[in-house]
């Protein structure tokens, strides 16, 4: 029996990988799936109407069209919060005043997402450059226009000595809210930044589905079936960190450096992704891009401390590795990781034990073959 070895290091885990390919015929033992089902999951979480799930899903649709602060001003590199800002309890968008939020809710918010950034980290250190943008969706265009009119009425007009300005504008069934601060009062520059933000934001909204949403409880979380291609573990409760499907711009918007993250995704051929607890799935533009992205994920030399995970020849399509110590960048202890490739999909699965990661990787590979 001949074995070929190649060392890999895995992004974010500081580990190396060894692929073992054996020229020993077809006498491999059957895969060990452990407790995991190899039947592709269904979208039962989307079949039952849920207002909370629908508002979350619509908020992520908005996120996939939001303008990044650095698209407006390259100095706005310090993230100051943002994310999904509506749920079945109400609207929580901080770019809006409490009175504006109350008005918006009275018109029926379907979803909301916002981003904010500044030119430095410390907001208490004196004057700053700051921009907050939010998108709030309503049932239809007429409702959005009426909501925008009432929200704008509550906005305080800029005064010459005031270094900030807020503005609200309806775009089809979406209300765009922009808030700007400058280090020194300059009404002309404030107005120019808001005009630029509106123009670029409307460009980003091109392609957004503006069909009426009479009932947010019917909006699906996973219309493309990405989550059905992941081994189901944990409860399927919509959450951006534990159970969600994203467009690449939406996922990038949740990172500290949205523009850099988006460039990494698009440059590598990622077209969409999903997260399900200890697993990630990347849909690639084709199988060639999937192979290349799996290589990219596995070869990032960010951390050189590693151990090899051996005896992995019975894990087809998987590159598995073990961290020599817990990753200091991860809140969760994820000692073992496998990058699993099949067709135009790449999955990354994590576990804390070697037996479990092997079973999880085997089940993940099997599910990727049969999912819709």
Q: What is the pLDDT of residue 325?
A: 66
Q: Where in the chain is the domain with CATH 3.40.1000.70?
A: 49-204
* pLDDT (tens digit per residue) in 301-324: 454 455 657 665 668 888 888 877
Residue 371 has pLDDT above 70, yes or no: no
CATH architecture of 49-204: 3-Layer(aba) Sandwich (3.40)
Asked whether the predicted pLDDT for residue 7 surpasses 50, the reply is no
| pLDDT score of 250 more than 50 | yes
Angle made by CA atoms 350, 82, 167, in degrees to the nearest 5: 160
Q: Measured between alpha carbons, how far is 262 from 282 in angstroms, rounded to an integer?
A: 13
What is the rounded CA–CA span in Å between residue 358 and residue 351?
9
Torsional sign, CA 120, 124, 127, 131: positive
Rounded to whole angstroms, how far apart are CA atoms 178 and 191? 11
User: Alpha-carbon distance 190 to 179, whole Å?
Assistant: 9
Which three-class secondary structure string do you get for the chain?
Answer: CCEECCEEEECCCCEEEECCEECCCCCCCCCCCCCCCCCCCCCHHHHCCCHHHHHHHHHHHHHCCCCCHHHHCCCCCEEEEEEECEECCEECCCCCCHHHHHHHHHHCEEEEEEEEEECCCCCCCCCCCEEEEEEEEECCHHHHHHHHHHHHHCCCCCCCCCCEEEEEEEECCEEEEEEEECCCCCHHHHHHHHHHHHHHHHHHCCCCCCCCCCCHHHCCCCCCCCHHHCCCCCCCCCECCCEEEEEHHHHHHCCCCHHHHHHHHHHHCEEEEEEECCEEEEEECCHHHHHHHHHHHHHCCCCCCEEECCCCCCCCCEEEEEECCCCCCCCCCCCEEEEEEECCEEEEEEECCHHHHHHHHHHHHHHHHHCC
pLDDT at 1: 33
Q: What is the reported pLDDT for 321?
A: 84
Contact 121, 144 (CB under 8 A): no
The mean-pLDDT minimum among 31-35, 106-110, 191-195, 223-227 falls in 31-35
Q: In this predicted structure, what is the pLDDT of residue 42?
A: 73
Predicted pLDDT of residue 31: 84
Percentage with pLDDT > 90 across the chain: 66
What size, in residues, is the chain? 372
Q: What is the pLDDT of residues 351-364, one digit of tens each?
A: 988 899 999 999 99
List all residues 6 or more positions away from 165 whose beta carbon is below 8 Å from its beta carbon. Answer: 158, 179, 180, 187, 190, 191, 194
Residue 14, C-beta contacts closer than 8 angstroms, at least 6 positions apart: 302, 303, 304, 305, 306, 323, 324, 327
pLDDT given for residue 198 in this prediction:
98
pLDDT of res. 315? 81
pLDDT at 11 over 60: no
Least confident among 79-83, 158-162, 269-273, 348-352: 158-162
Residue 298's pLDDT is what?
A: 79
pLDDT in tens, 124-170: 777 899 999 999 999 999 999 999 999 999 875 444 457 999 999 99
Task: Point out the least confidently predicted range of 62-71, 181-190, 315-324.
Answer: 315-324
Of 11-20, 288-297, 312-321, which range is least confident? 11-20
């Amino acid at each position: 029996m001949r074995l070929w070895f190649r060392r890999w290091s895995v992004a974010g885990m500081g580990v190396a990988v060894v692929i073992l390919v054996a020229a020993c015929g077809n006498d491999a033992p059957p895969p060990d799936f452990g407790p995991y089902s190899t039947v592709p999951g269904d979208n039962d979480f989307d079949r039952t109407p849920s207002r909370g799930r629908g508002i979350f899903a619509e908020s992520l649709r908005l996120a996939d069209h939001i303008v990044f602060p650095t698209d407006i001003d390259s100095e706005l590199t310090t993230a100051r919060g943002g994310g999904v800002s509506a749920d079945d309890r109400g609207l929580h968008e901080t770019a809006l005043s409490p009175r504006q939020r109350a008005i918006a809710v009275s018109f029926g918010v379907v979803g909301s997402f916002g981003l904010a950034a500044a030119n430095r980290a410390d907001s208490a250190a004196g004057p700053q450059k700051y921009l907050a943008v939010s998108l709030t969706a309503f049932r239809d265009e007429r409702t959005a226009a009426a909501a925008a009119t009432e929200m704008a009425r509550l906005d305080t007009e800029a005064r010459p000595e005031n270094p900030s300005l807020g503005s609200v504008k309806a775009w089809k069934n979406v209300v765009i809210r922009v808030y700007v601060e400058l280090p020194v009062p300059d009404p002309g520059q404030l107005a120019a930044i808001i005009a630029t933000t509106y123009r670029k934001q409307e460009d980003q909204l091109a392609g957004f589905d503006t069909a009426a949403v009479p009932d947010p409880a019917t909006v699906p979380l996973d219309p493309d079936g990405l989550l059905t291609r992941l081994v189901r573990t944990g409860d399927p409760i919509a959450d951006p960190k534990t159970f969600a499907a994203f467009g690449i711009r939406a996922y990038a918007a949740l990172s500290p450096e949205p523009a850099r993250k988006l460039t990494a995704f698009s440059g590598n051929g990622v077209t969409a992704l999903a997260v399900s607890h200890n697993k990630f799935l990347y849909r690639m533009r084709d199988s060639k891009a999937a192979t290349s992205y799996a290589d990219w994920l596995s070869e990032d030399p960010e951390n050189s401390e590693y151990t090899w995970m051996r005896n992995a020849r019975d894990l087809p399509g998987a590159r598995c590795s073990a961290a020599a110590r817990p990753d200091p960048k991860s809140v969760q202890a994820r000692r073992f990781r496998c990058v699993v490739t099949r067709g135009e999909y790449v999955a990354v699965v994590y576990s804390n034990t070697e037996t479990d990661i092997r079973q999880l990787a085997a089940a993940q590979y099997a599910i990727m073959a049969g999912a819709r």
